[in-house]
A and B are shown apart, each in its own frame.
Chain A
Amino acid sequence: MTALPLVGFVALSSALFAVGLFGILTRRNFILVLIAIEIAMNAAILNFVYFGAFSNGTAGLTGQAVAVVLIGFAATEVAVGLAIVLALNRVKGTINVAQANELKL
């Protein structure tokens, strides 16, 4: 029987989300922005798992199922993000987000 404080998990995931948000807002390198998005995404997925684990009945299973779908979603998002990085690098010669100033790559 494992017993853990729910409060600690909420504090952890909100702190991780804040770190990710800070990274998204400040970093200029496209790959670093992607990594910051991944950190925030992981914090969000963690929410589903521990709220499921601390509830009764099938809610925990639904939480884990949503987490599985979200992990796949996040992996897809990284793949598309890196395709955009490569296209941006070919057209502009840099992956600085400040210079990605037109939608037509």
Chain B
Amino acid sequence: MSKAKVATIWLDGCSGCHMSFLDIDERLLELAQHIDLVYSPLVDAKVFPDMVDVALVEGAVASEEDLAKILKVREHSKILVAFGDCAVTANVSGMRNPVGKEACLQHAYVDLATFNPGPPTSVVPKLLDKVRPVHEVVKVDVYVPGCPPSADAIFAVVSELLAGRIPDAAGLTRFGA
């Protein structure tokens, strides 16, 4: 049996969901027999593959770079998983929404700056006006809330996906878990 192609990406989040994925511990060896991790912050691949079976998306859509990434991932993934609260609800990433992008940039890059004040004009991606959960931007197939989702919940969800089923994470995890 060929291995399932799995990708993980990281938008506006803290990488905690990826850390929780690693917390699966020795069961990772079990998973490794069934998956080929083709693209991820945890591996070296720089280009998203043509088509993956499962993409785990951590983080909310907050910048122009995030937007370009998520559109690409959606186009090249059979099953897209909103992985963790930032992807599912915008969570902490979305806490800038009520105050607005400009006020945030002003505070971070002007009010608190000790030298060279002003928002970055290159390298750092431009922020979108609003931070959005992934499903407000592209179609999402599976939702795994949690900040982060527990290793057990992630293992259960990934195992179901590998068995060819679409899991329902209700009962496994919750908002803020």
Q: Do A and B bind each other?
A: no
